[in-house]
Amino acid sequence: MHVVGHATGVPALLFDFDGLIVDTERTFADAVIEQVRLHGGSVTYDEMSHLFGTTEAGHLWVELVPRWCEGLTMEAIAPHLAATLPAINDALDPLPGVRELIDSAHALGWRIGLGTGSSRETVTRRLERHGLLPRFDEIVTRADVAEGKPAPDIFLELARRLTVPPADCLVLEDSPHGCVAAIAAGMRVIACPSVVTAGCTFPDGVERVATLLDVSLPAPRD
């Protein structure tokens, strides 16, 4: 079990959303894999894993889908994804350890934030379904900042809104892009990869855990 070191003041725990709180990266990847297969191509998680964790990779999806299946385009499969995935993702339960870690952070007096590339409407809807929305002190989305991950903007804005110094923020991420963003923001980070990003290479010095159940938080120092 990973025990995080003490912060100098009231610390903050910053969550990513997709792939960390809910397993939406797996559902998206599975849907793409299915569409590629139905059109005669093939692709694996490892071949697309570097595209997750950032909103800045849209052009790469456009470039890569035709490589995975000749004649197929991202534009062609996007309507199917848009029509089927929202209902599937809305029904997903939180991943193991999410509730437990939020409860632990609250009990210990940590501030809690969420930094995501998803839309506020989507995140709000899914957190409300599980009664988790009130547990977050602040939420920052891609629309709230100049640049998305791997730029540090989302996490720096979260720290500003929470009035917690970046050095006293612990970020939980499932992707290398998110870890790079946290490091650039001057924050500590623990990687909890999703099934899609499990094969990725993470930045040097980033500790990995299998689930959020493996993270233990200490009480803040006075």
Q: How many CB atoms lie within 10 A of CB 82?
A: 9
Q: What share of the chain has pLDDT > 70, as a percent?
A: 95
Q: What share of the chain has pLDDT > 90, as a percent?
A: 92
Q: H helices within the chain, ranges in order? A: 24-38, 45-48, 58-68, 74-90, 98-108, 120-129, 153-162, 176-184
Model pLDDT, residue 17: 98
Using CA atoms, how far apart are residues 58 and 106, in angstroms rounded to an integer? 36
**pLDDT tops 90 at residue 142:** yes
Quote the distance between the C-alpha of residue 168 and its chain's center.
Answer: 20
Active site residues per annotation? 16, 18
If DSSP codes are grouped into helix, strand and coil, which group holds residue 83? helix
**pLDDT tops 70 at residue 130:** yes
Q: What is the mean pLDDT of residues 145-166?
A: 98
| Residue 200 CB-density burial (10 A; 0-12 exposed, 13-18 middle, 19+ buried) | buried
Q: What is the mean pLDDT of residues 136-149?
A: 97
Q: What is the pLDDT of residues 44-93, one digit of tens each?
A: 999 999 999 999 999 999 999 999 999 999 999 999 999 999 999 999 99
Q: Assess contact for 26 and 52: CB atoms under 8 A.
A: no
Q: Is 111 left (phi over 0), alpha (psi -120 to 50) or beta?
A: beta
Token pair listed for 68: 């995975």
CATH 3.30.200.20 assigned to domain 2-23+94-216? The reply is no
Using CA atoms, how far apart are residues 137 and 154, in angstroms rounded to an integer? 15
If DSSP codes are grouped into helix, strand and coil, which group holds residue 50? helix
Model pLDDT, residue 192: 98
Query: What per-residue string of b and e applies to 94-108 under the rule 16 or more CB within 10 Å gives b?
Result: bbebbbebbebbeee
